[in-house]
Amino acid sequence: MGLSAAAPLWGPPGLLLAIALHPALSVPPRRDYCVLGAGPAGLQMAYFLQRAGRDYEVFERAPRPGSFFTRYPRHRKLISINKRYTGKANAEFNLRHDWNSLLSHDRRLLFRHYSRAYFPDARDMVHYLGDFADTLGLRVQYNTTIAHVTLDKDRRAWNGHYFILTDQKGQVHQCSVLLVATGLSVPNQVDFPGSENVEGYESVSIDPEDFIGQNVLILGRGNSAFETAENILGVTNFIHMLSRSRVRLSWATHYVGDLRAINNGLLDTYQLKSLDGLLESDLRDLAILKDSKGKLHVTLKFFLEEASTNQSADAITLPQDDNDNFAMRVPYDRVIRCLGWNFDFSIFNKSLRLNSGNAFGKKYPLIRASYESKGSRGLFILGTASHSVDYRKSAGGFIHGFRYTVRAVHRLLEHRHHSVAWPATELPITQLTSSIVRRVNEASGLYQMFGVLADVILLKENAMAFEYLEEFPVQMLAQLETLTGRKARHGLFVINMEYGRNFSGPDKDVFFDDRSVGHTEDAWQSNFLHPVIYYYRYLPTEQEVRFRPAHWPLPRPTAIHHIVEDFLTDWTAPIGHILPLRRFLENCLDTDLRSFYAESCFLFALTRQKLPPFCQQGYLRMQGLVSTESLRQHRVENRLLRDDAPMGRDLEDSSQQPGNQELLGAPLAPGPLAQSLDSNKEEL
């Protein structure tokens, strides 16, 4: 029964009730996992936590997921491709070319169902992320802004402390592990005299009518700068673009964050003499002065220092006064800042030691290759803000990359806090070649996070079996046993995807003659993305990983094999791809990995002391002899079988065994290799 309405609140019954409830009211709710941000990375982690049955909560300041995409990009066109057709039915392969979908078990939650455009509208991303959260029932607290994060040391906590989160209402939340997926949200600004006259990308008008007949200067050289220029290119007098670095074209550098072709129209107008232009200078050396007519003049900082007067263009000597062909001598009507974004460190207490303090640390938090903060155990950075691990190298700053690094972090957490070993498939050694070929031809995470996430094969004793681990952070290889719960006592292979050293660069002609390699003996010179297999007799040490040779993603191995680049990224050619790979593996293992008919195994058993693994795992396990034409003819000649008897019944005992018309041993792993090996069993 409830309390009587007449009972005094602080009478004896009410006082006892208040005392009983006080501890519960004073202790903030405690979660195992807190996720900051319901953008793509936050929702991706929430999905994995929910599937694992973990205690978690996502905090999002906006009323719906993907709030970044409600404003950005300002001109609404994404540069993440939505390739809906590949000619393949393999779902994993198709994810290689789907840059927007998150990982889930629900095939309805693929971005291809939300947009037909190759470069989609940002509103489609907002719609997609909302459906992802709602359909999967992810636990998100909307309209909750985390204003401050600090630590509370506690020996009982998983990591020796709890993370204390305070929201905008003053409510406190505790968690054992903090997963920060807030992205980059603070506009990057350069402080120079007159910077108050500069408009920001985040607030400048996107209506071309507001720029008719104007002279415009854009500070920056990335996609946001060129996107802004593309929007007003047809209405301005001219557009000048200023930055300290040269233009980096994504097709030349092979970095998705560099200038994409969809935005680079200004390069045409510049090179075809249509008044627009690009200049290079350090912005910190400049100053912008406004004259009495409101026009903006670009000058150098030392001119102001020499003048030591008020900062008016009408009173200060400008560069063109001494140099009548100064490039920026014409005044501008608008100056727009498009310098990218930085991580928001403001909500994190200094006790978390999240910022390194160096120039690079101003943009990204300082984290390890496992995506855990170097300053606070149990604090992980996900999504765009984790890009410092592979900045300008791989795709970790973008959805098609960080959906896989988020999964890797989740697997690390599962082992650390729940004793769940890193997922692995144990297979007989006879399936080693086919397993590698299937992964390099289909796997999306291996393909997109090249040089960052790699597959690891752990050999069992006597190399008769192996464990296959997918998409492990390659720079954490020395700590593999600690992080995964798997043992690497008998040697290992690492499968990595790599570009050649001469493939790209801002100063290189990437379309040079003889840029491709077609012969297997020259595979190590392949420039385009291709699989590289490293073999180690022992797990490398941390020192070996840290002091590896320059430009090597891994320490020097016992042996290494490059699979020659392929124009179609289809590494299934029996002679060009599979045969050299199989021979490399055989040399490392000192064994024969070929597949044989039982007749050959029977002959091996009579003539050799050591049988190939395929025969040991099939023929010697009493699976019998598979019928072949030569065996049939042998029985006919010895009057053991009528000449008109069907071939399938020549070995009656064997014919009763299921699968006798198949190869002995475990079946080949499904994938593009199966048919080619089936028709080339003994030739290879």
284-306 pLDDT, tens digit each: 888 888 888 888 988 887 777 66
What average pLDDT does this structure show over 477-494?
95
What average pLDDT does this structure show over 327-342?
89
Say what percent of the chain tops pLDDT 70. 83
Burial of residue 294 (CB within 10 Å: 0-12, 13-18, 19+) is: exposed
Mean pLDDT of the chain: 84
Which residues is 240 bridged to in the sheet? 217, 277
Q: What is residue 306's predicted lDDT score, i.e. its pLDDT?
A: 63
Residue 602 has pLDDT above 50, yes or no: yes
Amino acid found at 180: V
Which residues is 175 bridged to in the sheet? 31, 163
What average pLDDT does this structure show over 247-252?
82
In this structure, what are the phi and psi dihedrals at residue 454, rounded to the nearest 5 degrees? -135, 150
Most trustworthy range by pLDDT among 333-347, 643-657, 666-680: 333-347
Say what percent of the chain tops pLDDT 90. 55
Residue 625 has pLDDT above 70, yes or no: no
Cα distance between residue 364 and residue 371, in whole Å: 12
Q: What is residue 193's predicted lDDT score, i.e. its pLDDT?
A: 85
SS3 467: strand
Q: Where do the H-state alpha helices sit in 394-534?
A: 399-418, 432-442, 444-448, 480-484
Residue 417 contacts residue 158 (beta carbons within 8 Å): yes
Q: What is residue 268's predicted lDDT score, i.e. its pLDDT?
A: 84
SS3 99: coil
Q: What is residue 323's predicted lDDT score, i.e. its pLDDT?
A: 66
Which residues is 57 bridged to in the sheet? 34
SS3 183: coil
Q: What is residue 34's predicted lDDT score, i.e. its pLDDT?
A: 97
pLDDT-based confidence at residue 598 (cuts at 50, 70, 90): confident
Q: What is residue 29's predicted lDDT score, i.e. its pLDDT?
A: 79
Cα distance between residue 416 and residue 476, in whole Å: 15
CB atoms within 10 A of CB 186: 15
What average pLDDT does this structure show over 598-603?
80
Residue 246 has pLDDT above 90, yes or no: no
What average pLDDT does this structure show over 625-645?
67
Contacts 24+ apart (CB under 8 A), 108-117: 108/135, 109/135, 109/136, 111/82, 112/82, 112/84, 115/82, 116/82, 116/84, 117/82
Strands 424-428 and 465-473, bridge-based pairing: antiparallel
Q: What is residue 530's predicted lDDT score, i.e. its pLDDT?
A: 94
Q: What is residue 646's predicted lDDT score, i.e. its pLDDT?
A: 58
Residue 128 has pLDDT above 70, yes or no: yes
Q: What is residue 8's predicted lDDT score, i.e. its pLDDT?
A: 42
Cα-based angle 322, 326, 331 (whole degrees, multiple of 5) = 105
More confident residue, 636 or 22: 636
Amino acid found at 557: P
| Residue 678, both tokens | 């089936």
More confident residue, 401 or 609: 401
| Residue 154, both tokens | 């506690």
Q: What is residue 289's predicted lDDT score, i.e. its pLDDT?
A: 87
What domains are there in the chain, each with its CATH number?
Answer: 30-185+343-410 (3.50.50.60), 195-339 (3.50.50.60), 423-589 (no CATH), 598-635 (no CATH)
What average pLDDT does this structure show over 430-440?
95
Residues ≥6 apart with Cβ < 8 Å to 67: 38, 39, 60, 61
Residues ≥6 apart with Cβ < 8 Å to 143: 60, 61, 62, 63
Cα distance between residue 526 and residue 640, in whole Å: 56
Cα-based distances in Å from 169 to 67, 143, 166: 20, 10, 8
Tens-place pLDDT, residues 204-245: 999 999 999 999 999 998 899 989 999 999 999 999 999 888
What average pLDDT does this structure show over 163-172?
94
For 352-393, give the DSSP string: G-----STGGGTS--B-TTSBBSSSTTEEE-GGGGGGGSTTT
Which residues is 367 bridged to in the sheet? 373
Tens-place pLDDT, residues 517-558: 888 888 888 889 999 999 999 999 999 999 998 888 899 999
Cα distance between residue 399 and residue 102, in whole Å: 7
Cα distance between residue 222 and residue 229, in whole Å: 11
Comparing 186-190, 415-419, 596-600, the range with the smallest average pLDDT is 596-600
Comparing 194-203, 285-294, 311-320, 321-330, the range with the smallest average pLDDT is 311-320
What average pLDDT does this structure show over 262-290?
85
SS3 650: coil
Whether the link from the prior residue into 13 is cis, omega within 30° of 0, is: no
Closest by alpha carbon to 558, among 594, 520, 590?
A: 590
Q: In degrees to the nearest 10, what's the CA dihedral of 356, 360, 363, 368? A: -60
Q: What is residue 64's predicted lDDT score, i.e. its pLDDT?
A: 95
Q: What is residue 6's predicted lDDT score, i.e. its pLDDT?
A: 39
Per the listing, tokens 């406190």 go with 172
| Residue 284, both tokens | 């910190």
Residue 677 has pLDDT above 50, yes or no: no
Residue 679 has pLDDT above 90, yes or no: no
Q: What is residue 616's predicted lDDT score, i.e. its pLDDT?
A: 83
Cα-based distances in Å from 317 to 291, 326, 347: 12, 13, 44
Strands 453-459 and 465-473, bridge-based pairing: antiparallel
